[in-house]
Amino acid sequence: YTLDDMQWFTVNAMKSAFIPFDERLAMINDVVKPGYAELKSEWLFRQTAVTSGSTASAG
């Protein structure tokens, strides 16, 4: 599974959680989505660093 798949699973699980709707929505928008956005940016940064490092050593 990809990180996008995991985010989709998490958001759907939160939609089914046994807490009031407004709390679920707040948790999705204030915790889950920003958390996955941070994970994605860290992953992209690492991929860019690895790609840049291999290009620099090849030249």
**Does residue 13 lie within any of the structural domains?**
yes
Q: Against a cut of 0.85, is the pTM above it?
A: no
Overall size of the chain counted in residues:
59
Domain limits for position 39: 3-47
The structural domain count of the chain equals 1
pLDDT at 49: 75
Contacts of 27 (CB under 8 A, 6+ apart): 14, 17, 19
**pLDDT, greater one: 55 or 35:** 35
pLDDT at 50: 72
> What is the identity of the amino acid at 5?
D
Burial class (CB within 10 angstroms; exposed 0-12, middle 13-18, buried 19+) of 45: exposed
Q: What is the mean pLDDT of residues 43-58?
A: 69
**Does residue 40 lie within any of the structural domains?**
yes
- Please spell the DSSP secondary structure of 24-35, one letter per residue: HHHHIIIIIHHH
